[in-house]
Amino acid sequence: MDYVSTRGEAPSLGFSDALLAGLARDGGLYVPREWPTFSKKDIRALRGKSYQDIAFTVLSPFVKGDIPADKFRAMIDEAYATFRHPAIAPVVQTGPNSFVLELFHGTTLAFKDVAMQLLARLMDHALAVRGERATIVGATSGDTGGAAIDAFAGRERTDIFILFPEGKVSPVQQRQMTTSTEKNVHALAIKGNFDDCQNLVKAMFNDGKFRDSVKLSGVNSINWARIMAQIVYYFTTAVALGGPDRKISFTVPTGNFGDIFAGYAAKRMGLPIDKLVIATNENDILARTLKTGRYEIKGVKATTSPSMDIQISSNFERLLFEALDRDAGAVRRAMESLKQSNAFEIEDKALKTIRKKFRAGRATEKEVARTIKTTLAETGYLLDPHSAIGVFVAAKHEKPGSPMVTLATAHPAKFPAAVKSASGIDPALPSWLADLMQREERFDVLGAELDAVEDFIGKHTRARD
């Protein structure tokens, strides 16, 4: 399998090269040249199999010719041995047709662990084969950073630098990033918001000289391997609920559009998914885009779901590429317009294609708090604010007799203040994080300036030429 850039001006790459590249050299995002497909018979054959077995079957076509099958299987087994639930991603029924897919049983209590644990092992393997080191950078609104630091801490071949918006992540999220004692970990509090952090990361990738000099690599969902690993739980869930002989809908709390794009990929691979529902908080650029056909960046508002306080939704570019029948020139024009005027229009045909497959909705702060409270009262289930956005929006798109699965993307204990204020319950951290708030913090504070960040990374990475 090889991978092509959504902007069509970077060389196509094999899996390991695309993995290490992160962002394509033309500023685009890598996608597989073609979607591997699974027949209904193939999908039926997944019934009764473990998460790890399904991951191996579903993901093997993406790494074929690049990673030996036995090594890939071992990485999958090791990655998911870090999870605290035997099912890895269990499905819980909360109503006659409503289900919650729990994606927070990994070490840092968010869905990011699912992909990050595998990504770290894939990168280690690719770097070992080449005898190289890499500098990993990542931007986070709270969860990617903790998951990446956990997965890469202490790894000999990588130094990791995570940019988080100063004062805009939850205290638990911050400490998951700032209390690592490993020397290869660097948490950087940036004076700005998540979009500033993400822009800095993209600017570092687009600075060819810097990129090459520190052997830059990325762990955000701009990296195809992140999306790839997230495809698996759409398959495990659909199969558990009667797929492929029944169509399932998914509602996904959405920010950077990575998680829901993984659902789209699963659908392209043959999984019978009915609707993919985008759920946003008050930073509702995606819900507005589906309604109006205009993708337009407005200011970011701080909410009780900080991980979704995002306006520049990187992976929407991947969807645009698909909806435009892979017309890289049209994607380039849209992205140029976004850069120049903070907006672009989606042409009619592409918009129709997107609207056919996706639905969207938003939840206000009041609706999030009310959903946490009423879900607890009616079902006994305690949601975190991100998952509550999903549950609120899902309820508006449920159809009788058709299963609707909401992705529960984080554990309530990551956001204790918001959860307590909505429900009266103070959710406890699990045992391995019980002393998190007492651990010593270590981080640096930097302005949202490319020079300052590049200078810091250049001085601290071991991957310099």
Active site residues: 112
Whether residue 37 contacts residue 48, with contact meaning beta carbons closer than 8 Å, is answered with no
Positions 270 through 309 that interact with ligand PLP (CB under 6 A): 307-308
Smallest distance from ligand PLP to CB 33, Å: 23
| 195 near ligand LJ64HWYM (CB under 6 A) | no
Amino acid at 94: T
Locate 257 and state its tokens.
Answer: 């559009």
Whether residue 12 contacts residue 34, with contact meaning beta carbons closer than 8 Å, is answered with no
Q: In DSSP terms, which residues pair with 91 in a beta bridge?
A: 101
d(CA 129, CA 92): 41
The one among 29, 410, 418, 457 contacting ligand PLP by CB under 6 A: 410
223 binds, among ligand PLP, ligand LJ64HWYM, none (CB under 5 to 8 A by kind): none
Which one, 108 or 184, has the nearer CB to ligand PLP? 108
Smallest distance from ligand PLP to CB 168, Å: 13
Contact window for ligand LJ64HWYM (CB under 6 A) among 255-263, 371-379, 390-398, 445-453: 255-263
Positions 121 through 140 that interact with ligand LJ64HWYM (CB under 6 A): 140
What separation in angstroms does the CA of 74 have from each of 80, 125, 133? 10, 11, 22
Positions 143 through 182 that interact with ligand LJ64HWYM (CB under 6 A): 143-145
By the 10 Å C-beta count (0-12 exposed, 13-18 middle, 19+ buried), 356 is classed as exposed
The one among 94, 141, 158, 304 contacting ligand LJ64HWYM by CB under 6 A: 141
Residues in the interface with ligand PLP (CB under 6 A) total 15
* In the block, residue with structure tokens 């074929």: 64
140 binds, among ligand PLP, ligand LJ64HWYM, none (CB under 5 to 8 A by kind): ligand LJ64HWYM
- Per-residue contact string for residues 316-355; x = within reach of ligand LJ64HWYM by CB under 6 A: ----------------------------------------
* In the block, residue with structure tokens 């005027």: 341
The conformation of residue 436, written as its DSSP 8-state character, comes to: G
Describe the crossing of helices 385-395 and 365-379 by its angle, rounded to 10 degrees: 80
304 binds, among ligand LJ64HWYM, ligand PLP, none (CB under 5 to 8 A by kind): none
Locate 146 and state its tokens.
Answer: 């903790």
How far from the centroid of its chain's Cα atoms is residue 46's Cα? 24
Smallest distance from ligand PLP to CB 35, Å: 19
What separation in angstroms does the CA of 402 have from each of 266, 325, 398, 422? 18, 30, 7, 30
Q: Rg (Cα) of the chain, in Å, rounded? A: 20
- Per-residue contact string for residues 138-157; x = within reach of ligand PLP by CB under 6 A: -----x--------------
Contact window for ligand LJ64HWYM (CB under 6 A) among 34-42, 251-259, 352-360, 399-407: 251-259
DSSP characters for 220-289? STTSHHHHHHHHHHHHHHHHHTTTTSS-EEEEEE-SSSHHHHHHHHHHHTT--EEEEEEEE-S--HHHHH
- Per-residue contact string for residues 186-225; x = within reach of ligand PLP by CB under 6 A: -----------------------------------x----
Locate 57 and state its tokens.
Answer: 């079957």
Smallest distance from ligand LJ64HWYM to CB 419, Å: 17
Q: Which residues bind ligand LJ64HWYM (CB under 6 A)?
A: 140-145, 220-221, 255-256, 258, 307, 314
